[in-house]
Amino acid sequence: MIIWQRWGILIFFALAGGLLLSFAIIGNMDIEPAYTKASLQVAVGFFISAVLTFGLWLLRHFNIIDAPRDSVDGTRRRPRSSLFFIPLVAWPIIFLVLGVLGLVVGLAG
């Protein structure tokens, strides 16, 4: 079973890096109650992950990491990059929505 294509695997690393960075930054802050602190850490982690995946998309868009190739009919096509059949361009939006939901939950508590 293939769950990623080409550069899609880097979305896992962007998410892990964003969450680890946010836990390291916000982990030392004194925020009460604890569930507010945890939801804010996750929200900021998703925002950082959105920035990282948007940067990955920009690298692909400007042909730095994945240049289009000639196909049989003469057109130039770029190979697909996806994770769970969701294209790379959609992941920053998904992470932003999840970050906003985390902020709403964290600030409502």
Q: Could you report the per-residue pLDDT of 56-74, keeping only the tens digit for each? A: 888 877 877 776 666 677 6
Q: Could you report the per-residue pLDDT of 23-58, keeping only the tens digit for each? A: 898 877 777 777 777 888 889 999 999 999 999 888
Q: CA 42, 48, 51, 54 torsion: positive or negative?
A: negative
Establish if 7 belongs to a structural domain. Answer: no
| Full residue range of the structural domain in which residue 41 is found | 22-64+82-109
pLDDT at 18 over 90: yes
Establish if 40 belongs to a structural domain. Answer: yes
pTM strictly above 0.85: no
* Tally of structural domains, the chain: 1
- Mean residue pLDDT across the chain: 83
The partner residues of 70 in beta bridges, in order of sequence, read 76
Distance CA 90, CA 81 (A): 11
Residue type (1 letter), 21? L
Establish if 8 belongs to a structural domain. Answer: no
